[in-house]
Amino acid sequence: MLCIASLLSLTAITAVSASVNPIVIKGSKLFDSVTKEQFFIKGVAYQPRGGLLTGTDPLANESTCVKDAELMKALGVNTVRVYEIDPSKNHDACMNAFASAGIYLLLDIATPKHSINRQTPEYDLNLYLSFAAAIDAFAGYSNTLGFVAGNEVSNDKTTSAASAFVKAALRDAKQYIKSTKSRYIPVGYASNDDQYIRDAIKDYFNCGDDSSRADFFGVNLYEWCGNSTFQKSGYSERTKEFENYSIPVFLSEYGCNLMTPRPFTEVEAIYGPDMTGIWSGGIVYEWSQQDNSYGLVQIDASGNVTPLPDYQNLKTELAKVSPKGVSMDSYSSNTQASQCPAQNENWLASSNLPPTPSEGGCKCMTDSLTCTANTNTFSAGGNDTAIGDQLNYLCSNYNCSDISADGSKGVYGAFSFCAPEDKLKYMYNFASAGDSSKCTFDGHAMAAQPSQSDLQSCSKIKATSPNTGINGGKVNSSSTSASTSIFGQLNFSILAALSSAPLILNAAQNFM
């Protein structure tokens, strides 16, 4: 008995987690919820990849993250931005290592596998569930600072309509946290810096209903190259643009590498009097040296980490700054939410957002069909191309509005959020119009015995929040459906390729 008792208490001791004071938002600023001091993000993007790395989750490998956390602490950073994790893995060791080093996490819940596709935007159930799984995996840590619901999705005026879908996903992530977590964790968006849309997009994410507004806004800003200045770099204009902004804004990526080694002279501006009244700091792109040459450290094949000249330069610059903030109690925000931007040739996204994906609605729909997909359509040789080809065919010959979504018109079909498979079933039923002799489509479709009889009523079934503890179980990570679309130029093979493109391409696009 004694033995067991002491074993148990040992376990209890090792399970005690390091903790930091949670960060909260008041007005346009971040604060330490306990000391009430203003918090400035001194961050680094953390996504080591390639080489010996076996996965894409930097918060699941204790042997690497513990070393990295030490070096980051010595560098002077207090936040990591992580772009992709696997919610089914255990993150306790890494999150504890970062908490012990005083480092917070900003987590992208939109990933290459699960995100809105900017060319063919669509917000479906699978994306909703994957956001919920990532939130479940990280909401319990005191050093989780915030979630990023999209990174550079609309990145020019041709892709602006995609923001309607991102904002809907962001809205639902907020609601999910509110209804299932004991601590609210903010959800925001990270934008590129496109001259045509930068003004509209910052307002778009901070306008309308409180329930759908972003809690913070990030700008991936690569304007300051080499030994530039606040005026010459463009930072002064960017700062002016946010002078009345009512939510926190920070540089969600920075660190132009056109001149190397990077002197990081922008650090003095970001944490100095020109910017601290408006911005809440920034995140240097990025920790490890990769093919695109933004690394602060070199990680070799055996996992040894060596600081590069950029690391030393950044360390020197960070050591010079100590941003002066305000105290939470004495601060009162007098700014208001933005006006939704007018729709024009630069900005197409409607402020009418897509509905919350309703699992019950989709199930009711598939249960109500008298003509459905043959199981072979999805199994034997069935793939996204096959589904896409079928939908292409059906939507060029029949009215697909019930399964389509248009973010510029703000019009969303009743089943526009269902999985591609379910949309295809719906269209076989629609196209055969109750005539079982038409329910063939070259053997792809077959007659079905519906267990429900009122298809119309299915569209009225509201979404329910998924239960806690999904932890990836319900999410089909091998599926690309979150990034596929049946609206517009249908091409699932292109979509599948796009959906696996790494986020990092987005960052590089800023100044190419």
Instruction: Kindly tell me which of 52 and 74 has the beta carbon lying closer to ligand NAG.
Output: 52
Is residue 386 within the footprint of ligand NAG (CB under 6 A)?
Answer: yes
If one asks whether residue 456 binds ligand NAG (CB under 6 A), the answer comes out as no
List 44's β-bridge partners, or say none: 80, 284
Give the shortest CB-110-to-ligand NAG separation in angstroms. Answer: 20
In this structure, the dihedral spanned by the alpha carbons of residues 398, 399, 402 and 408, taken in order and rounded to 10 degrees, is 130
- Judged by CB, which is closer to ligand NAG: 227, or 327? 227
> Cα–Cα distance between 201 and 338 in angstroms, integer?
11
Q: Is 227 a residue that touches ligand NAG (CB under 6 A)?
A: yes
C-alpha 6/C-alpha 69 separation (Å) is: 31
Q: Is 371 helix (H, G, I), strand (E, B) or coil?
A: strand
User: Alpha-carbon distance 168 to 151, whole Å?
Assistant: 14
Question: With respect to ligand NAG, which residue has the nearer C-beta, 183 or 460?
Answer: 460
Helix then strand count (H, E) for the chain reads 17, 16
Enumerate residues 229-248 that contact ligand NAG by CB under 6 A: 240-241, 243-244
The reply to whether 392 sits near ligand NAG by the rule CB under 6 A is yes
Residue closer to ligand NAG by CB (options 42, 202) is: 202
Which residue's CB is nearer to ligand NAG, number 461 or number 494?
Answer: 494
* 61 lines the binding site for ligand NAG (CB under 6 A): yes
CB of 55 to ligand NAG, least distance (A): 6
494 touching ligand NAG, by CB under 6 A: yes
257-286 positions binding ligand NAG, by CB under 6 A: 259, 263
90 belongs to the binding site for ligand NAG (CB under 6 A): no
The nearest distance, CB 8 to ligand NAG, in angstroms, is 28
Which residue, 172 or 317, is less far from ligand NAG as judged by CB?
Answer: 317
Neighbours of 29 (CB within 10 A): 22
CA distance 422 to 362: 7
Residue 385 sits in the site that holds ligand NAG (CB under 6 A): yes
Spatial contact of 135 and 503, defined as CB atoms under 8 Å apart = no
Residues 6+ apart with CB under 8 A from 89: 55, 57, 59, 60
Q: Is 253 an active-site residue? A: yes
Measured over all CA atoms, what is the biggest interatomic distance in the chain, rounded to whole angstroms?
77
Q: CB-wise, 151 or 499, nearer to ligand NAG? A: 499
Q: What is the token pair recorded at 421?
A: 């498979």
CB of 58 to ligand NAG, least distance (A): 9
Q: How far apart (Å, rounded) are the C-alpha atoms in residues 348 and 329?
A: 40
Stretch that binds ligand NAG, among 56-64, 155-163, 346-354, 356-364 (CB under 6 A): 56-64
Do residues 348 and 161 touch, judged by C-beta distance below 8 A? Answer: yes
**502 C-beta neighbours (distance < 10 Å), count:** 15
Catalytic residue among 223, 253, 266, 286: 253
Near ligand NAG by CB under 6 A, which window of 106-114, 151-159, 210-218, 476-484? 476-484
Closest CA to 167 of 213, 121, 132: 213
Instruction: Identify which range of 4-12, 79-87, 205-213, 489-497 contacts ligand NAG by CB under 6 A.
Output: 489-497
Cα–Cα distances (Å) from 419 to 67, 246, 397, 400, 412, in that order, read 41, 36, 21, 14, 15
Cα–Cα distances in angstroms (integers) from residue 287 to residues 49, 311, 406, in the given order: 11, 9, 38
Interface residues for ligand NAG in 161-220 (CB under 6 A)?
none
Nearer to ligand NAG, 273 or 381 (CB): 381
Residue 226 interacting with ligand NAG (CB under 6 A) = yes
**Is 152 marked active-site?**
yes
Active site residues: 152, 253
Residues engaged in binding ligand NAG (CB under 6 A): 52-55, 61, 63-64, 226-227, 240-241, 243-244, 259, 263, 303, 381, 383, 385-386, 389, 392, 399, 401, 476, 478-479, 491, 493-494
